[in-house]
Amino acid sequence: MWLIIFVCMLAVAGAGITGMRSRNTEQQLVVQKKAIERAAVLCYALEGFYPPRMEYLEEKYGLIVDRDRFFVVYRTFGSNIRPEISVYRLFSTLESMDE
């Protein structure tokens, strides 16, 4: 009887941990996107243009992009138009099996 209760408690705890990890990853996506947006706007404010490549923000403004965890799409439409920025989560083999 105690064994069944213990196994149920472990299952509930495991589900909670998986949910917390998912929410944490979503928050990291938002933080990464906001960091890129802030760097682009700062560049525009200081230099008068949005950079054509995200690498410019990494080189000149110290932007750090976690390329092991996220895939970033940085599309520009002109030097005076704010770029479109999308951040997507990359899945490793282990993460895909866990979820």
Each residue of 31-67: pLDDT tens digit?
A: 999 999 999 999 999 999 999 999 999 999 999 999 9
Stated pTM of the model: 0.70
Tokens of 25: 């990853």
Q: Which domain, by its residues, includes 65?
A: 2-98
pLDDT for the residue 24: 84
Split into its structural domains, the chain has a count of 1
Q: Which residue would you say has higher pLDDT here, 98 or 49?
A: 49
pLDDT tier at 91, thresholds 50, 70, 90: confident
CA distance 97 to 94: 5
C-alpha to C-alpha distance for 11 and 34, rounded to whole angstroms: 35
